[in-house]
Amino acid sequence: MLGLAALALSANAARAQRLLVPMDDAQQNHLKAYGLTYTAIKAGASAEWLLNYRGGSFLLADTPELRRQAGLAGITIEPIDNGRLGQIRAEIASNNMEAVPLEKAPKIAVYRPSEELPWDDAVTLALNYAGIPYTSVYDDEVEHGDLSKYDWLHLHHEDFTGQLNKFYLSYRDAPWFIDLLQKNTAEAKRLGFANIPALKKDVADKIREFVDRGGFLFAMCGATETLELAIAGKNVDIAQSFLDGTPMDPDADRKMDWKRAMAFRDAHLEQSPFVNAMSDIDGHQVNVPGRQQPLGTFTLFNFSAKFDPVPSMLVQNHRAVINDFYGVTTSFNKAVLKPGDIILANEEGAPWVKYIHGDYGKGTWTFYGGHDPEDPRHAIGNPPTDLSLFKNSPGYRLILNNVLFPAAKKKPLKT
Amino acid sequence: MVAIGIAPIARRPPTIAAQAPADTMAFYKALDLEAAGKYKEAAPLFRVALHTPASVNALLGLERVLAEIGQSDSLVATLDTLIASNPHEETYRTVQLRTLQSLGREAALRAAFDKWVHDVPDSPSPYREYADLLLQRNRSAAADSVLARANMTLGSTKDLQLEVAQARAAQGQWVESAQAWRQALIKADYLEQAAAYALAPTPMSSRPQVREIFLSLPIEVSSRRALADLETSWGSASDGWNALKSIPPDSAAADAWSEFAKRAESEERWTLAREALEAALRWKHTPDVALRAGTAALNGGDAAAALRLAPLADANGDSALIAKSYVPLYARALSSLGRPAEAERMVAAYDRFISPGAHNSLIRTIAWGWVRTGDMNRARAALAATGAEGDSSDAAGWLALYEGNLKTARVLLRGGTESSPELAMALALIARIKADTAPAIGKAFLALARSDSTAAAAQFVDAADKTPVVRSLLLLSAAQIQSRRGNDADAIALWKRILDTENDSPEAPQAELEWARTLRRAGDASGAAAHLEHLILTYGGSALVPQARRELDLAKAAIPPN
């Protein structure tokens, strides 16, 4: 009898019922933990997101391959048996926590040009580091309707007003800018548009349609603001003459159709071609001397995990207060938010918010201001951030929350 | 911002030394009381002194002691009176701005600045002082508007370049800041370090333009020195030297080169130090700079140049100087060049000027020279001549090791004073071998000492076959030598042997990591990844696992390469 009991015990230790991936401070590599979970979902293994439980932990099937991947990446896992699992479920049931099944690995597209540019993209860095596969798409693919192949689309530094982020103010003679201008102009012509602004506005509208049909959109940095300007300004000349040969329509502000936009309303365009800003959507205006606002910290909202699982998923973190970071669009002024927007994070006492989310048609959008959560003053030409040095980054976790949340099985609200 | 702290002091040197008539006694008494910490008692005496020729310094004293006792507000009315009596005294105005700022009276501060501008419309001082205060409070945009007003009113900001530079840097306008710093340095070359400090955060994209501004003609020593500091802070001392080397030679340039060399010497960047010192020597040959250049050359591995750069003729036959400064350099250089006999002759020639301690040190150096020539008997004889100290020296420890006498080597090398990769390896070996003799290991180290890496690698493999207890370490050492020589195939064969036959040794994970790195460098990312995965999963407790994970990320292109 004794011999049989020992054998059973050792078998339990070797293969537990589940693997708990803690996401509190016990976790050695938060960012790769998302990749592990994505791998599990993609392989069809059972996976749950334990919202608000130990920093938003994951509960995965115990398989040799997942153990191997965790060991290779230095991801902390805790094998648990059914008894311990029961205790966890009881704790979740009696607190502001929820277990959300993760069912289908989303097909991910990142909107980015094929050529190397002198800046990087935090989402691409995060996806690469976590080991989550994605496909790069750009204007050609969008114009040919390829977005329908994907569940999730990410936008970063792109200027959808077609003004190339007004880099002509500082970099008009830089070889990379000249190249960028030539390639974009040629691409616009090839796709049948008169100029870059016309192409980008059409691309923006196709992205809007992607969300309207049920897609998940995640945007950071300048893409948030310019996407909205391009959508609202579809029938207005909002580009300066450098790009389309004509100045901005002096009455552009009045002609903007904000009903078409997803997140913002009644913003005012920057009329001057010599001011490196697009509108008053951004609260920080990092590239405008005299307007630039200092960086502070932003605080994540604590939602009800049982009643608001989607915003809860988006703010899962082991830190509630996070250092702010600049981008060409760093934050979003409260004054221009639409009434239905959900504020996920804001800066205490400031007139702006950092991280917002909302529904549009059958889909959702999430906007996260700033360029690189671990390089608060990232500048053009700076080397990309090495995420192996920031494997517990709370700012990057917010990006990866967005990658996983489309995998969640929708549950009917309990109200 | 270091520059903000420096500038006001430099602009207004103390003046009290020139003014000490009898009626300033109250002032001196006040200074004594202040020094004794009796601020309350000092205040009324400083007030009395406000009406003497020491009034300016008395006001500064009064400002200090009132701040100590929390009564700065009582200075406001006093300042109004002083300014009314002498509207052109800048110190009164400066103290007024400072006081109002410390009291948080923003409107009064602005009004005081406006009044100063009104009273002295052609002076840059009000703009300078007010902008400085704003910059200290990180209100760079407000400072910028003050400077813009100065530009409009005065017609230029040529006298405010320091403030313009600081304001631009604070706003991230690096190119404009660099332009202003360049101008500011013309009049105030002592601000070089302040300029380098302020511009250090310049992002990579703006650095070429900043560089261009400091390198543009005409060449000014101060701007080149600032750029040299800046380049060094950006991580490239060699670019720092590039900024300095084209300065036309004169005494200021020679000073700049010598100072650059001093920094390079302290950071052991011997090649750069030597270049800078050689430039200084071309302007003016001085024995001390020549000796430094020779030492830098020797430390940089060019013993022949050391002899050339520091000729004995510089000493003008001063035997004591030669013995103290030249013989140590020459003994090392000659020994490195395989000419220990000449070194011995030189030491003998100046022996009576050399202290016993220095003498023994020189003999040990020469013994090294004999080792390098392979003449162990002469090396041993040289050490024997130094008596007990020679017998207990590092060199004696190495000699013992070369002879395979591990018992003696163990004692001497452990207590040695030098440190080097070879010593670390030797100590690791000795610690793991219980036997007292190991001639094969001695031969391997001797080959290494003679820089015969081909023989050394072969000898380490031979020693590995004869010394099973440290086989893995010896094989790893042989592999490292082969890898350094670029013989990747030979190195890989040795790493494979360690993993095949010594897979439970401490060297196994290291061998696998080095193998993986070599594969990645050769472009075989998947081969590297396979080894790294094996290492992480097999040797999970190894201290090398974090490095292996990073290498794995690089191999999988999960993180950008450095």
Interface contact A379-B558, CB threshold 8 A: no
Domains of chain A: total: 2
Interface contact B203-A129, CB threshold 8 A: no
Q: Is the pLDDT of residue A6 over 70?
A: no
The verdict on A144 touching B (C-beta cutoff 8 Å) is no
Sort A405 into a burial class: Cβ within 10 Å, 0-12 / 13-18 / 19+: buried
pLDDT of residue B524: 92
Task: Decide if A1 is inside a domain.
Answer: no
Q: Is the pLDDT of residue B556 over 50?
A: yes
Of A79-88, A140-149, B151-160, the least confident: B151-160
Helix (H, G, I), strand (E, B) or coil at A109: strand
Q: Is the pLDDT of residue A321 over 90?
A: yes
The verdict on B18 touching A (C-beta cutoff 8 Å) is no
Lookup: tokens for B34: 């202040």
How far is B266 from B287, CA to CA, in rounded Å? 20
Which of A73, A381, A387 has the CB atom closest to B549's CB atom?
A73
Helix (H, G, I), strand (E, B) or coil at B309: helix
Q: Which residues of B touch A384 (CB under 8 A)?
A: 560
The verdict on A114 and A26 lying in the same domain is no
Q: Is the pLDDT of residue A155 over 90?
A: yes
Task: Decide if A129 is inside a domain.
Answer: yes
Tell me the mean pLDDT in the region B158-170: 80
At CA A84, angle to CA A83 and CA A90, rounded to 5?
95
Which of A71, A131, A386 has the CB atom closest to B540's CB atom?
A71
Lookup: tokens for A287: 């590239």
Q: Which residues of B touch A119 (CB under 8 A)?
A: none
Q: Which of residues 101-120 of A touch B (CB under 8 A)?
A: 118, 120
The verdict on A212 touching B (C-beta cutoff 8 Å) is no
pLDDT of residue A178: 82
pLDDT of residue A370: 95
More confident residue, A408 or B15: A408
- Residues B513-549 pLDDT 10s: 999 999 998 889 999 999 999 999 999 999 999 999 9
Q: Is the pLDDT of residue A253 over 80?
A: yes
Residue in chain B lying closest to A122 (CA): B559
The verdict on A268 and A330 lying in the same domain is yes
SS3 content of chain A, % helix, strand, coil (to 5): 35, 15, 45
Put simply, whether the predicted model's pTM sits higher than 0.90 gets the answer no
Q: Which residues of A touch B172 (CB under 8 A)?
A: 292, 377
The verdict on A224 and A357 lying in the same domain is yes
Q: Which residues of A touch B144 (CB under 8 A)?
A: 289-290
Decide which of A68, A83, A101 is a domain's last residue: A101
Q: What are A365's strand-pairing partners?
A: A217, A358
Residue A161: band (very low, low, confident or very high) from pLDDT cuts 50, 70, 90: very high
Entry field: residues in chain B: 562
- How many Cβ pairs closer than 8 A exist between chain A and B? 65
Decide which of A43, A66, A101 is a domain's last residue: A101
Most confident listed range (A339-353, B158-172, B249-263): A339-353
pLDDT of residue A360: 96
Q: Is the pLDDT of residue B269 over 70?
A: yes
- Residues B429-450 pLDDT 10s: 888 888 888 999 999 988 887 7
Mean per-residue pLDDT of chain B: 84
Of A27-31, A78-82, B36-40, the least confident: B36-40
Interface contact A125-B560, CB threshold 8 A: yes
Task: Decide if A32 is inside a domain.
Answer: yes
Pairing of strands A363-368, A216-220: parallel
Which of A72, A120, A383 has the CB atom closest to B537's CB atom?
A72
- Cβ A276 vs Cβ B171: under 8 Å: no
- The minimum CA-CA distance between A74 and chain B, rounded to whole Å, is 8
Tell me the mean pLDDT in the region B271-283: 91
pLDDT of residue B5: 21
pLDDT of residue B2: 22
Residue B335: band (very low, low, confident or very high) from pLDDT cuts 50, 70, 90: confident
Interface contact A289-B553, CB threshold 8 A: no
How far is A208 from A202, CA to CA, in rounded Å? 10
How far is B478 from B412, CA to CA, in rounded Å? 24
Which of B533, B546, B559 has the CB atom closest to A72's CB atom?
B533
Least Cα distance to B548 among B534, B562, B560 occurs for: B534
pLDDT of residue B418: 57
Q: Which residues of B touch A382 (CB under 8 A)?
A: 203-205
Least Cα distance to B15 among B51, B79, B78, B59 occurs for: B59
The verdict on A55 and A142 lying in the same domain is no
Task: Decide if A341 is inside a domain.
Answer: yes
Task: Decide if A10 is inside a domain.
Answer: no
Residue in chain A lying closest to B140 (CA): A290
The verdict on A54 and A199 lying in the same domain is no
Entry field: residues in chain A: 415
- Residues A168-213 pLDDT 10s: 777 777 777 888 888 899 999 999 999 999 999 999 999 999 999 9
More confident residue, A390 or B156: A390
pLDDT of residue A411: 54
Q: Which residues of B touch A387 (CB under 8 A)?
A: 558-559
Decide which of A101, A118, A138 is a domain's last residue: A101
Task: Decide if A378 is inside a domain.
Answer: yes
The verdict on A185 and A222 lying in the same domain is yes
In this structure, how many other beta carbons lie within 10 angstroms of the beta carbon of residue A274? 8
Q: Which residues of B touch A380 (CB under 8 A)?
A: 203, 205
- The minimum CA-CA distance between A196 and chain B, rounded to whole Å, is 25
The verdict on A125 and A247 lying in the same domain is yes
Least Cα distance to B349 among B368, B337, B338, B334 occurs for: B334
The verdict on A349 and A300 lying in the same domain is yes
Mutate to test the interface with B, among A132, A386, A400 (most CBs of B within 10 A): A386
Q: Is the pLDDT of residue A49 over 80?
A: yes
More confident residue, A36 or B392: A36
Report H helices in A131-165. Answer: 139-143
Q: What are B405's strand-pairing partners?
A: B437
The verdict on B36 touching A (C-beta cutoff 8 Å) is no
For tokens 């969640």, name the residue: A408
The verdict on A199 and A81 lying in the same domain is no
Which residues span the domain enclosing A87?
A: 15-101
The verdict on A133 touching B (C-beta cutoff 8 Å) is no
pLDDT of residue A30: 97
- Cβ A407 vs Cβ A104: under 8 Å: yes
Residue A26: band (very low, low, confident or very high) from pLDDT cuts 50, 70, 90: very high
Residue in chain B lying closest to A68 (CA): B537
Least Cα distance to B408 among B449, B386, B437, B371 occurs for: B437
The verdict on A64 and A174 lying in the same domain is no
Residue A300: band (very low, low, confident or very high) from pLDDT cuts 50, 70, 90: very high
The verdict on A93 and A113 lying in the same domain is no
- Cβ A159 vs Cβ A211: under 8 Å: no
**CATH number of residue A56's parent domain:** 3.30.70
**CATH number of residue A337's parent domain:** 3.40.50.880
pLDDT of residue B146: 85
How far is A403 from A102, CA to CA, in rounded Å? 12
The verdict on A178 and A43 lying in the same domain is no
ipTM attached to this prediction: 0.79
More confident residue, B140 or B457: B457
Residue in chain A lying closest to B548 (CA): A72
Task: Decide if A412 is inside a domain.
Answer: no
Which of A131, A290, A380 has the CB atom closest to B141's CB atom?
A290
Residue B343: band (very low, low, confident or very high) from pLDDT cuts 50, 70, 90: very high
Residue in chain A lying closest to B541 (CA): A71
Task: Decide if A215 is inside a domain.
Answer: yes
For tokens 């998302």, name the residue: A34
